[in-house]
Structure 1
Amino acid sequence: MTHAFLSFLVRRLAPSAPPYAPSSVPFAAAARRAPLGAAALLLACAALACATPAQARIKAKHPSVNVSTVLPATVMAGLAHAHVPLSAISVVIEKVGDRTPIVALNAGKPMMPASTMKLVTTYSGLSILGPDYRWRTSAYADGNLDASGILHGNLYIQGTGDPKLVPEELIDLVQKIRKAGINGIDGALVLDKRYFDPSTRDLPPFDDDATAPYNVGPDPLLYAFKSLSFTLTPSPDGSVAIDVIPALAQLQIDNQLHATGGPCRGELPTPAVTPQPNGTVIASFAGDYAERCGPRTLNVAVLDHSAFFAGGFLALWQQTGGTFTGATREGPVPAEARLIATHEGPVLSDIVRDINKFSNNTMARNLFLTIGAVTSKPPATPEKSAHAIEAFLQKSGLNMEYLSLDNGSGLSRDEHITALSLADLLQAANASPVAQVFVDSLPVAGVDGTMRNRLTSQPVGGNAHIKTGTLRDVRAIAGYVASADGVSYIVVSIINDPHSEAARAAHDALLEWVYQGPSQPMQDVAEEPHSKPRKNPHKRTQH
C-alpha cells in the first residue's frame, strides 16, 4: 500500500522534537498521543536485577527511573511448559518514543536472533540506498548484427544482485534485446558476475538440506531464487501431470508417477535432478501419488546459479522466437562491447516488504552484499557490507557493541545482537524518514506474512507488526504492538535454547499481554547473575 509520509516521527530521547507521524503507522502515532517519560509506567525491580550490567547501563542514562524485570504470568507459564529456563530468554519492552525499557530481562546478552537480524539489514538498506533504489541487469553485445538480426558475436548479461529477478521481470530484458533488433545469437551467452566477490558464491548450505530454497546463497545474477516449483496434479485415469516454474531451456522431466486411490498422507515425491553429459538436466519423478492429495506444489533448489540463470534466460529467449547456437560461460563485459538493453528491478521498498513479510533469506543476502558494493567499490564482500552497516548505525547514534554480522539474513550461527540493541534499532527506524516503508514491511499478527496463522482469534491480531525468527534452538520476535489503551510499544524477545520451538506460546502470550497494556499482574524474576555481555568470538575486529 502507499501512504503520504509526513517526515520525521517521534525522536527518541528528544521530547522537544515535533513528533510527526503518518496515521497509518499506529506505533509512532500512539507515541505522539502519549506523554514521554515512562517513570509512571515502570515497576520496581529486584535489587539484584538492577545491579546487572544491562540494567546499570539503563540506570546511568535514566537515574530517576526503575526498570522492571518482571514477566507476565502467562509468559512464565509458557516458558515453564516448554522447559525453557529464564537464562535462555532475552526480553525488552519499551514505549515507542521512549528508550527507557519498561521490562528488560537479560537485555544486554548477545543472542542469536535468527531472521530478526533482517531488521538490521532492511532498515540499513532503506536508509543507505533509499527506498527508491533499483537494481540494474544489463545486456551488452560485441561482433556484428546482420540484416536478418543474427548477432555474430557474444551477448553479455551483467548483474548487480537484483533480489527479485523472476520470470516476470527477466522477460522485460529479453524483450528489450529483441526490440534492439537481435533475433538470434551466433556466439556465446556470457554472464558477468563481478559485482559480488567470488568468495560469496557457491557457499555450503546452512544445514544438511541442500535442496531447500531457504539455503540458496546470494548471486549477482540470482534468478527466481534458483528454485523450481513443481506442481503435481493427479487425474482419475491414473496419470499425474507435472508443471514446472520457471522454465529452464535445458530441463527435461521424466514422469513415472502414478495416481492411486489410497489415502493422502501428505508426502510429496522428491525429484532426482541429474545433469547429463550433453548439457541437459533431467528431473525424474517415480512412485505413487494419492489422487486424494489433489494438486500440490513442492519447491526445490537445483543447479548452480550460472546454469540456472542461463537456462531461465534461454527459455524466455526461445519463447519469444529467439535462436541460440552457442555455449554459455562466465566472463567480464569487454570495454568495446555496446550496451543493448537495461532492466530495472522493483524499488527497494517493495523488496524489503518481501524480505520481511516472508523472511526471504536469499533476498536479504543479496541486499546485504549490495550495501557493501554501493558504499565501497565492487566486488561486494561480507566484510564491506558489515563495515558499511556498522558505520551507518554508529552515525545514527546506535552503538551496538555486540553486533556481529555474517550474511545479514539471520541464517547463521555467527550472527549476534542484544535485545536492547534491537529495540534501539526499532526506535530509530520508527523515528526515521523510512519509518512508513519499514513498519509496513513487517508481518501483521493474524493477517499476513510469517504471522498470518498466529493470534488469529486474539485481540492483538491486526494490531502488531512483528518480525519473526526461527532456527533450530532459536525463536525470536521483534516489532511494534499498538495496545488497546492507545499506547504503542516496542517488543523484542529472543530465546536461545534447545526447547525454543515449544516456546512459541510464550511469545504469543507476551504479545497478547502487551496489547492489553503493561499494567497487568506480572511475575518478578531476576536476571541471570552471569548476564554480562560476553565478547562474541565471531565479532569482526577489522573489515
Structure 2
Amino acid sequence: MNAKPRRFAPRTAALLLVCAALGCGGAALPLAAEARVKAAHPRVNVTTVLPPQVMAGLQRAHVPLSSISVVVEKIGDRTPIVALNAGKPMMPASTMKLVTTYAGLSILGPDYRWRTNAYADGSVDANGVLHGNLYIQGTGDPKLVPEELIDLVQKIRKAGITGIDGALVLDKRYFDPSTRDLPPFDDDASAPYNVGPDPLLYAFKSLSFTLTPSSDGSVAIDVLPALAQLQIDNQMRAVNGPCRGDAASVSPSVAPQANGTVIASFTGDYSVRCGPRTLNVAVLDHSAFFAGGFLALWQQSGGTFSGATREGAVPLGARLVAMHQGPVLSDIVRDINKFSNNTMARNLFLTIGAAEEKPPATPAKSARAIEAFLRRDSVDMEYLTLDNGSGLSRDEHITALALADLLQRANASPVAQVFVESLPIAGVDGTMRNRLTNRGAGGNAHIKTGTLRDVRAIAGYVASADGNSYVVVSLINDPHSEAARAAHDALLEWVYQGPEQGARQVAAPVTEPRAKSASAADGKPRKNPRKRGAH
C-alpha cells in the first residue's frame, strides 16, 4: 500500500435532498446548515434518493431520514456520490475514535512508546533490601497488562532490589487530577467500558473471573490479574438443571475491608449446563488496583514488601532503576479501533495533549492539539466537539462530511496503512466479525462501528466489486437507532456492489459536471481496503 501523501483539489459536495424527492416531509438538512454547505461547496447539486434496500431498512427500524447523515465518496475524489444531512452535527459514538487515533498516529508517530519508570531513593543492603521508597512513575500506557508490567518487575530485580522496606509511591502527575475519578457514563459503574483514564492504568482496572462448575457440586473460580490484597469468598454451588439468568446473577460483591484486603464474594447456585463463564468487572480505584497488581507480581517473583502504598512525586534525588517501554502506538491503535476500547482511547487522547502542550494532560489541551493538527492537515472540523476522544459521550459531535474528509486525508497520509489496517474487517474481526459474513462486502470493508443508546454509526472504507475503493460514513441519532443495523449493512453492501452505477439509477440529473480532484484526474485512486482473503 503506497503511503505517499497526496494533494486533493478543493472539495465539492453533492447535496442529497431525499425528502424532497420522496415527498416525505421535512428538509433533509437544516436550512442554515444546508446553506453553509452550499456556500462552501457550490459546484455540484445532486438530487437523488438512498438505495431502496437502505430505505427499507430505515423504514423497518422506524428511523426517519432527518435522523440519519450519510456520505459516500470515491477514494481520491472528494465529490460525494451520496450526501444526506452531510453538514449536520451528530453524535458519532465510537467512530470518534477515528479522530483520536489518526491524530495520535500523525502527531506522536506509529512507533511512539509509553514509558513506565521505577526510581529508588534509599540504599540497598547486601541482601538486596531497599531501605527507602520505590517510586513508579506512569505516563498513561494504555496497555500496561500483566505481561507488560512483569517486565518492569524483572528489571527492578535485575537492578539488585529484592525487597522493599519503605513505601511504594505512585507518581501520577502526567495527567491532571481533574481527569481522575470521573463519574461513569451510565449507571453500570462496574462495566469495564466505564473505566476512566489514568497515568498508571493497569489491566483496564478490571478483573476477569472465570467460573467453572463441576459435577461434584463445586464451582472453581479463577481470577486475572492477581491483586495482592484480593481474597475470594466462594460460596457458590454447582447444580443440575437448565442454564438460566445473566451475568448479573453470578457477579461478585466486591468490598474493601478495614485491614486493606478486598473480598470478592460469590453466592448462589450455578448450573453445570452453563459451562465455564468469564465475568469482567471493574473494581477499586486506579491507585489501589495498580498497587495490588504490581505487588502481586513482585511477590510472585520472590520480592518482599513491608511498607505502605501511597501517591506522591518522585523526588529530585531519586535514581532511575528500571524503565519499561510499552507496545508501539500502531499496536495500541489496532486494539482501540478493532475492539473499540474506550479506556485505551481516553489514555491516548490525554497523551496527545501532554505531548503537545506538556504535562499535566487535560482534555482541553488534547482538544486544542487535535484541532490544531486537523487545521494543518486541511480537514474542515467546523462542528467538531471533543470531550474524551473515545465517543463515550453525549457531548462529542462531528459531521459526516468532516469524518469523510478525515478518512480521505488519512488515506493519503504517511500513516495510511497502519490506520486502515486498524479498522475492523467486515465478517472477519473486531466489532465487525459477525456482520456481512455471507455478503460481498464481507472481507472487503474496513469499518469502525459506534453504538450508544440512541446512536448507531459506521465509518471507513469499502473495496467494491468494480475495482474502486470508497469512503463511507453514516451516523444515526434516533431513539430507534438500535434497530437500524440492517440499514447500515445494506448501505455497505450497496457500496460494495458499485455505488456509482447504483447512484445513476436512483439519482436525478446533476446540475453541473463534477470537478475531478488532482488524485482522481490521474486515473489512479488509492485503494486502502484489502480484498477478501488478504491478511
TM-score normalised according to structure 1 size: 0.88
Aligned residue number for residue 290 of structure 1: 271
Tell me if structure 2 keeps the 8 A contact 1:12–1:431.
no
Aligned residue number for residue 22 of structure 1: none
SS in 1 for 2:372: helix
2:502 corresponds to which letter in structure 1?
Answer: Q
Aligned residue number for residue 157 of structure 2: 178
2:177 corresponds to which letter in structure 1?
Answer: P
1:344 corresponds to which letter in structure 2?
Answer: Q
1:264 counterpart = 2:243: yes
Aligned residue number for residue 226 of structure 2: 247
Aligned residue number for residue 13 of structure 1: 9
Query: For residues 199 and 135 of structure 1, what CA distance do their matches in structure 2 show?
Result: 21
1:78 counterpart = 2:57: yes
Query: For residues 352 and 61 of structure 1, what CA distance do their matches in structure 2 show?
Result: 33
Aligned residue number for residue 102 of structure 2: 123
What's the offset of the Cα at 1:7?
A: 3.1
Query: Equivalences for 1:395-414 in 2 at 5 Å?
Result: 395-414=376-395
Tell me if structure 1 keeps the 8 A contact 2:100–2:345.
yes
Match for residue 359 of structure 1 among 340, 364, 389: 340
Deviations 1:367-399 (A, max 9, x none): 000000000111000000000000000111113
1:454 counterpart = 2:450: no
Query: For residues 211 and 392 of structure 1, what CA distance do their matches in structure 2 show?
Result: 35
Query: Measured at CA, do residues 107 and 62 of structure 1 come closer, stay the same or move farther in structure 2, by a change above 3 Å?
Result: closer
Query: For residues 361 and 367 of structure 1, what CA distance do their matches in structure 2 show?
Result: 10
What's the offset of the Cα at 1:55?
A: 5.5
Aligned residue number for residue 21 of structure 1: none
SS in 2 for 1:307: helix
Query: Equivalences for 1:201-350 in 2 at 5 Å?
Result: 201-265=180-244, 267-268=246-247, 269-350=250-331
Match for residue 173 of structure 2 among 178, 190, 194: 194
Query: Equivalences for 1:57-72 in 2 at 5 Å?
Result: 63-72=42-51
SS in 2 for 1:127: helix
Query: Measured at CA, do residues 231 and 457 of structure 1 come closer, stay the same or move farther in structure 2, by a change above 3 Å?
Result: same
Tell me if structure 2 keeps the 8 A contact 1:12–1:427.
no
Tell me if structure 1 keeps the 8 A contact 2:16–2:84.
no
Deviations 1:35-73 (A, max 9, x none): x9999xx99986986995656556556655333442011
Aligned residue number for residue 520 of structure 1: 502
Tell me if structure 1 keeps the 8 A contact 2:428–2:437.
yes
What's the offset of the Cα at 1:143?
A: 1.0
2:455 corresponds to which letter in structure 1?
Answer: V
SS in 2 for 1:99: strand
Q: Which moved more, 1:91-100 or 1:150-159?
A: 91-100
Tell me if structure 1 keeps the 8 A contact 2:118–2:322.
yes
Aligned residue number for residue 78 of structure 2: 99
Query: For residues 344 and 298 of structure 1, what CA distance do their matches in structure 2 show?
Result: 29
Query: For residues 222 and 61 of structure 1, what CA distance do their matches in structure 2 show?
Result: 44
Query: For residues 47 and 435 of structure 2, what CA distance do their matches in structure 1 show?
Result: 27
Deviations 1:268-309 (A, max 9, x none): 301000000000000000001110111110100000000000
What's the offset of the Cα at 1:443?
A: 0.2
Aligned residue number for residue 535 of structure 1: none
Query: For residues 115 and 386 of structure 1, what CA distance do their matches in structure 2 show?
Result: 16
Deviations 1:186-218 (A, max 9, x none): 000000000000000000000000000000000
1:13 corresponds to which letter in structure 2?
Answer: A
Aligned residue number for residue 525 of structure 2: none
**Structure 2 gaps, min length 5:** 22-26, 509-535
Tell me if structure 1 keeps the 8 A contact 2:3–2:417.
no
Query: Measured at CA, do residues 265 and 460 of structure 1 come closer, stay the same or move farther in structure 2, by a change above 3 Å?
Result: same
Aligned residue number for residue 532 of structure 1: none
What's the offset of the Cα at 1:517?
A: 1.0
SS in 1 for 2:223: strand
Deviations 1:86-119 (A, max 9, x none): 1110011111111111111111110000000000
Aligned residue number for residue 484 of structure 2: 503
Tell me if structure 2 keeps the 8 A contact 1:68–1:103.
no
1:248 corresponds to which letter in structure 2?
Answer: L
1:423 counterpart = 2:419: no
1:168 corresponds to which letter in structure 2?
Answer: E
1:387 corresponds to which letter in structure 2?
Answer: R
Aligned residue number for residue 539 of structure 1: none
TM-score normalised according to structure 2 size: 0.90
1:132 counterpart = 2:111: yes
Tell me if structure 1 keeps the 8 A contact 2:49–2:507.
yes
Across the two proteins, how many residue pairs are aligned to each other?
498
Tell me if structure 2 keeps the 8 A contact 1:112–1:417.
yes
1:421 corresponds to which letter in structure 2?
Answer: A
Tell me if structure 2 keeps the 8 A contact 1:142–1:155.
yes
1:370 counterpart = 2:344: no
2:57 corresponds to which letter in structure 1?
Answer: G
**Structure 1 gaps, min length 5:** 15-35, 526-543
Deviations 1:231-281 (A, max 9, x none): 000111010000000000000000011111111125230100000000000
Match for residue 413 of structure 2 among 429, 432, 456: 432
Query: Measured at CA, do residues 69 and 496 of structure 1 come closer, stay the same or move farther in structure 2, by a change above 3 Å?
Result: farther
Match for residue 148 of structure 1 among 127, 130, 133: 127
Tell me if structure 2 keeps the 8 A contact 1:364–1:409.
yes
| Percent identity over paired residues | 82
Deviations 1:120-139 (A, max 9, x none): 00000000000000000000
Query: Measured at CA, do residues 517 and 68 of structure 1 come closer, stay the same or move farther in structure 2, by a change above 3 Å?
Result: farther
Query: For residues 313 and 30 of structure 2, what CA distance do their matches in structure 1 show?
Result: 59
Aligned-pair Cα RMSD in Å? 2.1
SS in 2 for 1:70: coil
Deviations 1:451-493 (A, max 9, x none): 0011111111000000000000000000001110011111100
Tell me if structure 1 keeps the 8 A contact 2:455–2:477.
yes
Query: For residues 261 and 482 of structure 2, what CA distance do their matches in structure 1 show?
Result: 42
Tell me if structure 2 keeps the 8 A contact 1:53–1:108.
no
Query: For residues 267 and 312 of structure 1, what CA distance do their matches in structure 2 show?
Result: 28
Query: Measured at CA, do residues 277 and 69 of structure 1 come closer, stay the same or move farther in structure 2, by a change above 3 Å?
Result: farther
Tell me if structure 1 keeps the 8 A contact 2:5–2:413.
yes
Tell me if structure 1 keeps the 8 A contact 2:462–2:470.
yes
Query: For residues 437 and 133 of structure 2, what CA distance do their matches in structure 1 show?
Result: 55
Tell me if structure 1 keeps the 8 A contact 2:231–2:261.
yes
Tell me if structure 2 keeps the 8 A contact 1:228–1:246.
yes
